[in-house]
Amino acid sequence: MTQGLVEVRDLALGYHGETVLKLDELTVAAGEFVSVLGPSGCGKTTLLNALAGFVTPDAGRILVDGQDVTHVAPQHRQMGLVFQNYALFPHLNVEKNLHYGLKARKVPRDERETRVRDALKLVGLEDFRARFPGQLSGGQQQRVAIARALVTRPKVLLLDEPLSNLDAKLRRQMRHELRELQREIGTTTIFVTHDQAEALAMSDRVVLLAGGGLEQHGTPQELYRTPRTTFTADFIGAANIVKATIGTDGRADVLKRSVAVPEGQGLEAGTSEVALRPEAVTVTAAETPGTVAAEVMSVAFGGDRYEYRVRVDAETTLLASASGREDAYAPGATVGLAFEDASVIWLGGSS
């Protein structure tokens, strides 16, 4: 796949003179699956609308395969958009919904038939070709929407929170199906979501937007393991944000425990913030050597693990976990919290 390189340069998007999103640079390689992740109001849907041609940027350029499409009308963009509510044509059956884009592009009848049949096969809906959208379940409608977008062979597939209207179980299943489908067809895919778990599970790369700009981007692993900001650490997976006092001796005080400060991250002496993933903070018996004393506030059983909310002091409460195979500590009990130096995520470094 050599088609579908998307480049965004110095983009400014807004409505009525008010800037919603500023993006200096974003490149999506051909065939890549990139998630645009962010809380509501971060401008991710606006970005998608700009890519599809429904929002004209205040400034900047959008290029597809090196061609400037910033001012190209939506119908000439060759971007397949899957809407959050699917936007299937209610008066057309599944087959005719798929034919729609091909007819608009004047594809000959024989080729249309073949392509529609292949697209329906791809999403496993061959038996539903004569059904109307109102007669399909949410998951089926979504597959039709994806097939309708793909059958026109777009250069880029744009997905606008396509899983948010499905129930939890189906959502999990569709994550895998969507990813397998994208690998099979190799179309560049930009997936907009507010659900970090979805973004982590599906993407080659995650672009995290916040406050109208780019917060951080990288592989899901990078964002999870080495978030650069408090916002990223907190938004990607759960995180306990804890104060740390960095001394001049290369050690820092984290939760009343001395921890080695890693070198080469540009961390300076003083007060800083660190993140601790709940799964990295283990609840053990009180007064175990090397642990931090805490009081259990509540406990939730999650199958393989317990999730605890614990209080270290008046200002500090944390989420921590323990293996689900043992008995839980009751609320009010005093426990010890253990974590490894390497699991501490240092925020606010200069690199």
Q: Which residues form the interface with another protein (CB under 8 A)? A: 52-54, 73-77, 79-81, 83, 85, 87-91, 93, 100-101, 104-105, 131-132, 134-135, 148-149, 152
Longest dimension (CA), the chain: 77
Tokens representing 305 are: 């693990």
CB of 346 to another protein, least distance (A): 44
Find tokens 């780019």 and name the residue. Answer: 214
CB of 78 to another protein, least distance (A): 8
**CA distances, 332 to each of 19, 280, 298 (Å):** 49, 22, 8
Beta bridge mates, 36:
192, 207
- Residue 126 · residue 144 · CB < 8 Å: no
- Taking the CA atoms of residue 195, residue 198, residue 203 and residue 208 in that order, the dihedral angle to the nearest 10 degrees is 10
- 88 vs 207 by CB, closer to another protein: 88
CB of 104 to another protein, least distance (A): 4
Helix (H) or strand (E) holding 92: none
Helix (H) or strand (E) holding 72: none
Give the 3-state secondary structure of residue 203. Answer: coil
Smallest Cα–Cα separation from 63: which of 32, 19, 26, 37? 26
- 23 vs 102 by CB, closer to another protein: 102
Q: Which residues of 126-136 are buried (b: 16+ CB within 10 A; e: fewer)?
A: eebbebbbeeb
| Amino acid, single-letter form, for residue 294 | A
- Dihedral of alpha carbons 201, 202, 204, 208, sign: negative
Q: Which residues contact 121 (CB under 8 A, 6 or more apart)?
A: none
CB of 16 to another protein, least distance (A): 10
- 132 vs 225 by CB, closer to another protein: 132
- Residue 8 · residue 26 · CB < 8 Å: yes
CB of 150 to another protein, least distance (A): 11
Identify the burial level of 170 via C-beta atoms within 10 angstroms of its C-beta, where 0-12 means exposed, 13-18 middle and 19 or more buried. Answer: middle
